[in-house]
């Protein structure tokens, strides 16, 4: 099984769009700089619900805080 973030098909081989078109549709792949990367499946609804609740708690916590714009750093 491929780990997310690792190129997965024949490391070192340079793939083209022509190769990509021959791979099975049931597998999710992306070509990045001629390397084949296995894509993770979409999250399940339970995960989405938990992430949404977490996000709403963070937003509720941060409401009322004044956030100043980021300062531009000048190079020396």
Contact between 9 and 15 (Cβ < 8 Å): yes
pLDDT computed for residue 2 by the predictor: 45
Per-residue pLDDT of the chain (76 residues), as tens digits, is 444 455 556 667 888 999 989 888 888 888 888 888 888 877 889 999 999 999 999 989 988 887 777 777 666 5
Alpha helices in the chain (DSSP H): 17-22, 45-62
What the block records as the tokens of 55 is: 């996000």
The Cα–Cα gap between 16 and 70 comes to 41
Evaluate if pTM is beyond 0.75.
no
> C-alpha distances in angstroms, 61 versus 42, 53, 55, 56?
28, 12, 10, 9
């Amino acid at each position: 099984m491929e780990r997310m973030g690792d190129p997965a098909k024949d490391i070192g081989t340079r793939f083209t769009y022509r190769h990509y078109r021959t791979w099975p549709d049931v597998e999710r792949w992306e070509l990045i700089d001629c390397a084949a990367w296995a894509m993770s499946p979409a999250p399940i609804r339970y995960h989405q619900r938990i992430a949404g609740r977490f996000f709403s708690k963070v937003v509720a916590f941060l409401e009322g805080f004044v956030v100043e714009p980021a300062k531009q750093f000048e190079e020396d």
